Structure 1
């Protein structure tokens, strides 16, 4: 009978990067929780839902038909910030309970978090600007 292996150590910096770069497809959720994570599948479901809306309503503004994917990306930015700003002790208690290795955050995590804040802020500003343009002028500015 094979011995049970120790749980794999979950890297906080890698998780934060995955949430920032590939969070809109839920890659960070699958890294942390495995293939049965419902929220990870919701991130993936946003892509075909947006494509179906675009196919069903080709005349509608792309912002509205692509909104599920846009929201998924913005939620992933928020998740990246929450995961990256979790203290190492809490991170290890939650995700590395059976691991003998301890997490130790470095400067690269801070850099990823700064870039995430910038990307998230640009995304929110762009979403608000385009939404107000569509709602108040009917899309007169693009």
Structure 2
């Protein structure tokens, strides 16, 4: 029987950054039977549906206010996982994902490609998170102001 392939930290970081909302990093690290990997595409699809609702019905569609942040928060969470993977020490990485290897084995080492994934995730994840929060609060407060105007009339 073949020994399992070692899980590389750089691959996991880039999969979390680029394919995290589809669960690719979870499948890479935990296999195709990982439940969270199969659940991650759900908020991604809901957020994409929210964007489509905005395109069809405009920004005043209340369902899009709820659905679009699902995509933003999923992307931000996957960017956070990229940062966690990239900054994990080789000893901790290999103990968790490559238990048969030495603590300082190559799959757990940090390279410049790993750091590039962390930097990209920090920039892009923070941007998407702030945009999602701003969109949610703006739409909520606009809705509250409109409700207050209707009450006062």
Normalising by structure 1, what TM-score?
0.81
Residue 4 of structure 2: aligned partner? 7
Return the match for 2:141 from 132, 136, 141. Answer: 136
State the distance in 1 between where 2:29 and 2:129 align: 26
Deviation at 1:122, TM superposition (A): 0.2
Residue 34 of structure 2: aligned partner? 37
Q: CA RMSD in A?
A: 2.5
Given the superposition, is the C-alpha separation of residues 110 and 52 from structure 1 closer, same or farther in structure 2, using an over 3 Å criterion?
Answer: closer
Deviation at 1:50, TM superposition (A): 4.4
Larger Rg: 2
Given the superposition, is the C-alpha separation of residues 16 and 88 from structure 1 closer, same or farther in structure 2, using an over 3 Å criterion?
Answer: same
Aligned positions, number: 135
Normalising by structure 2, what TM-score?
0.76
Residue 102 of structure 1: aligned partner? 106
Return the match for 2:18 from 17, 21, 26. Answer: 21
Deviation at 1:45, TM superposition (A): 2.2
- Would you tell me which structure has more helix in proportion to its own residues? 2
> Is the Cα contact below 8 Å between 2:76 and 2:126 reproduced in 1?
no
Alignment of 1:22-101 (within 5 A): 22-50=19-47, 59-60=61-62, 62-99=64-101
> Is the Cα contact below 8 Å between 1:6 and 1:98 reproduced in 2?
no
Given the superposition, is the C-alpha separation of residues 51 and 106 from structure 1 closer, same or farther in structure 2, using an over 3 Å criterion?
Answer: closer
State the distance in 2 between where 1:36 and 1:125 align: 33
Deviation at 1:93, TM superposition (A): 1.1
Unaligned residue ranges in structure 1 (runs of 5+)? none
State the distance in 1 between where 2:142 and 2:62 align: 15
